[in-house]
Amino acid sequence: MLSEWAAFSELAKAFAEGEACLRVAGLTGPARAMVVAGLAKTHPRPLLVVTATLADAHRFTQDLKFFGTPAVEFPEREPRLWRGGRQRESDAERAVVCRRLLAGEPLVVVATPTAIDVPLPSPTEFREATLRFTTGDSLDRELLIEALEKAGYERTDTVVEVGQWSVRGGIVDVFSPAQTAPARLEFFGDEIESIRLFDPTSQRSQATLDELLVLPLHEDGASAEAGRGLLDYLPPTAAVVVDSPKLLDATDEDAPERPPLGQRLAGRQRLELELVEGATGPAGLTLDTRSVTQHAGKFTQLAEEIAGWRREGFTVRLAAADDRQADHVQQILREHGVEAIRAASIDAPEGLAIVVGECSSGFSIPALGLILVTETEMFGARRRTLRRPKYQRGSPISAFTDLEVGDLVVHEDHGIGKYLGLKTMAVGDRDGDFLLLEYAENNRLYLPVDRLDLISKYMGGDSTAARLDRLGGASWQRVKDSVRAALREMAEELLRLYAKRTVADGHRFSTDTPWQREFEAAFRFEETTDQLRAIEEAKRDMEGERPMDRLIAGDVGYGKTEVALRAAFKAVADGTQVAVLVPTTVLAQQHWSTFVDRFAPFPAKVELLSRFRSPAEQKTVVQGLRLGTVDVVIGTHRLLSKDVEFKNLGLLVVDEEHRFGVAHKERLKQFRAAVDVMTLTATPIPRTLYMSLSGVRDMSVIETPPLDRLPVDTVLRRFSKAVIKEAVERELRRGGQVFFVHNRVQSLPSGARTRCAHRHGARPDA
């Protein structure tokens, strides 16, 4: 398609002939990535794309992939002042890029000036430190251990993350960046008998390898002869694309003596991209591209505009992040009279088609008669596809790696014991891994790792007061019997309480409407399997005869709110009102902002009822609920006041019910008689949990975290303005958010001034 664009053909010819400096104006947003991808295809060779920030680098990389080009991000150096321990995933990603460049791959590397300056070992050092193991190789295990330590790998008891290794008898585990999972080398004497990948959570073997490549993971070039940079790994023929000519003047704050980026790129072919022709230097080529209209969920307008574009002869492409979203877009357009087929790529011959892939925003190229519309334009915000982890990571919830030697555990059949570590033992002619558990009277139990599901970590409060059970004794059985009796008594009480509700007639909600599909397609993240299941279970309850009483349990950030949002929209679309009850005013404000944002494209009124509103505003909201002019209300316990009446309440959503008092819960029981109720919780109390497990209340568990969700990184440091500056600036560079918690309300303004002044380079007392 690009070959039909005369301006691009002229650029491609100059690029192929090696013209030293090319300046291109007029490219907007992802059109830049499209042109770079086109150049990479017409003249394959390594390319370096330099962007201003980490967020820009991520967007540019995704756009390049959308246009079919192999592209990778090159990570910046991890924060040195506040980050705790080694962050080997960044080291691993850099090592893979270095290996691919040294192998001569025509790779497009996207990096910030800061990332380019990360010290690396020289290419010669990198090659010499790379280890290659093949089945049948004979080598001294002590030399292997020495080589792994020299290559920057961390020795651990159990390998669960990239950059770790362990040794147990004749087994050596190592997690190299060359593989997405760790590998297990089994020795017979000094000979490698087998190499197998294994799951870092279950520790079970997966695929078998003939060869394993172990890449060096040097921390910031610690073993390098003189810190090299990324540019040393690029061949002389590699070209550099600069996303903004201003970046050529960029210098390293930590090394002000280092020349600006432009000087270090001298001698390399350079392509400079700018929006306005001649903005930073002599005029160059102009490739005219334009932005497209934002529709923000108004599909009637979008359908009309698509029809107009097609009448004018334009080729129209709609970008959807994944197959499921493409199906949503196709169905929504069909309901608005537009039939769009699926196409494999943007170059397909069809006039109107949906292409699967993530692109940051849309654009048009008048010279090609091409218009690309992305989810940014369709829904008002770009759908954020979860970033797939490059390496498998052991789960600390279900894996024994969460245990430390000396921790108490509970075995399903034998009761409380003490974990003494992981042992490797010969079973027949093979070695196997076992958890060693100690019980009363020094009795020991060896549990195979593949029976990990039989134990759980002891959570009974003070572990020092707990007594170990006897293997084969009767005490553990007596404990289980007494618990069963107590639960049976509780169940009888709860069943009487909920019997009335079971026979009550509830509101049978209608099946999903076209608007429901539009609302759900506007979700900015990719749903997890558990989340989708919870949504479908809630819808099924709402469409049934019995009033819904469903508990949605899941950790913070696992997507419970989206389940509630879709249920709320379903209720409003069927002509009923929705109340969302939350325990705090801050949470009410957060939920209100979320609901307002999601409901904005639709004719629904969302209100807030809490102490953040004035008495007059509260009165207006209460009147709107009574008259039915308010469709959704988010509020605190104020919603349970006697003056609050609903015209037609259809759904009550309760967030963290256990944080409400006894009087409030009695009021909630009145709602449960005939209104559909959804309860959200990250920490269900035993009674609520048992009601769900016994079938009195239905329960949906969202236990799958978003794929790019990482554990919270908690670092304790003495107060330091330099540490704060580094942490805040890194988060802003990657396009994230920062919440700064201060300990005194009175000094908030002065604290804010101090932080901002330091961030901008002024004196701390300015």
Which among 473, 492, 516 is the end of a domain? Answer: 473
Most confident of 158-172, 394-408, 619-633: 619-633
Side chain identity, residue 99: R
- Which of 250, 247, 182, 238 minimizes the C-alpha distance to 212? 182
When pLDDT is cut at 50, 70 and 90, the band that residue 682 belongs to is confident
The contacts of residue 245 (CB under 8 Å, 6+ apart) are 23, 272, 274, 279, 280, 281
Task: Report which DSSP code applies to 396.
Answer: T
**Residues 463 and 541 grouped into a single domain:** no
Q: Please report, for residues 383, 509, 560, 679, 715, the alpha-carbon distance to residue 533 in angstroms, rounded to integers and kept in the order given.
A: 20, 19, 12, 16, 36
- 270-274 average pLDDT score: 91
Which residues are registered as beta bridge partners of 425?
A: 432
Residues 151 and 54 in one domain: no
| Model confidence, pTM | 0.73
Structural domain for 747, as ranges: 711-766
- Note whether residue 391 is domain-resident: no
Q: Are residues 420 and 561 both part of a single domain? A: no
224 pLDDT band, cuts 50/70/90, is: very low
191, 214, 237 - which closes a domain: 214
Q: Does residue 444 sit in the same domain as residue 526?
A: no
Identify the top-confidence range among 96-110, 137-151, 688-702.
96-110
317-360 tens-digit pLDDT: 999 988 888 998 899 899 888 888 898 888 888 889 999 998 99
Does 197 share its domain with 90?
Answer: no
726 domain residue, yes or no: yes
Give the pLDDT band of residue 384 (cuts 50, 70, 90): low
Residue 211 — pLDDT band, cuts 50, 70, 90?
very high
Report the alpha-carbon distance of residue 742 to residue 737 in Å, rounded.
Answer: 16
Nearest to 344 by CA among 331, 354, 352, 334: 354
Q: Please report, for the domain that includes residue 410, its CATH number.
A: 2.40.10.170
529 within domain boundaries: yes
387 in a structural domain? no
Which amino acid does the sequence have at 609? L
**pLDDT attached to residue 197:** 93
Q: Place 591 in a pLDDT band, splitting at 50, 70 and 90.
A: very high
Cα dihedral 9, 14, 18, 23 sign: negative
Whether 279 is in a domain gets the answer yes
* Residues 339 and 333: beta-carbon distance below 8 Å: yes
Residue 488 lies in a domain: no
pLDDT band at 315 (very low <50, low <70, confident <90, very high): very high
- Give the pairing type, strands 632-635 and 577-581: parallel
Beta strands per DSSP E along 4-78:
21-25, 47-50, 71-73
Contacts of 644 (CB under 8 A, 6+ apart): 609, 622, 625, 638
User: In this model, does residue 382 exceed pLDDT 80?
Assistant: no
Span of 255-264, 476-485, 623-632, 713-722 with lowest mean pLDDT: 713-722
My answer on whether 601 and 630 are in the same domain is: yes
For residue 427, being part of any structural domain is answered with yes
Residues 533 and 591 in one domain: yes
Q: In what order do the strands lie in the sheet with 352-356?
A: 341-343, 352-356, 315-320, 370-373, 363-365
> Does position 502 have pLDDT exceeding 80, yes or no?
no
187-194 average pLDDT score: 88
Question: How many domains does one find in the chain?
Answer: 6
Say which residues have a Cβ less than 8 Å from residue 386's Cβ, sequence separation at least 6: 525, 526, 706, 707, 708
- 731 and 737 Cβ atoms separated by less than 8 Å: yes
Residue-level pLDDT at 248 = 87
pLDDT (0 to 100) of residue 397:
35
Residue 151 belongs to domain with CATH number: 3.30.2060.10
Percent of the chain at pLDDT > 70 equals: 82
Q: Rounded mean pLDDT of the chain? A: 83
Q: Do 606 and 518 fall within a single domain?
A: yes
Looking at residue 408, its pLDDT comes to 87
Q: Flag the least confident range among 103-107, 293-297, 464-468.
A: 464-468
Q: What is the predicted pLDDT for the residue at 221? A: 46
User: Backbone dihedral region of 415: left (phi > 0), alpha (psi from -120 to 50 degrees) or beta?
Assistant: left
Which CATH number is 50's domain given? 3.40.50.300
697 and 748 in a single domain? The answer is no
Band (110; pLDDT cuts 50, 70, 90): very high
Q: Rounded to whole angstroms, how far apart are CA atoms 641 and 660?
A: 14
Residues 29 and 171 in one domain: no
pLDDT bucket at 51, cuts 50 / 70 / 90: very high
Q: How far is CA 173 from the centre of its chain?
A: 28
> N- to C-terminal Cα distance for the chain?
56
Question: Are residues 195 and 176 located together in one domain of the fold?
Answer: yes
What lies within 8 Å, CB to CB, of 454 at 6+ separation is 411, 412, 413, 447
Write down which residue in 473, 492, 515 finishes a domain: 473
752 plus 679 within the same structural domain? no
Cα 363 to Cα 361: distance, rounded to the nearest angstrom: 7
**pLDDT tens, 289-308?**
998 888 887 888 899 999 99
Query: Does the structure show a pLDDT above 60 at 517?
Result: yes
* Residue 79 within a domain: yes
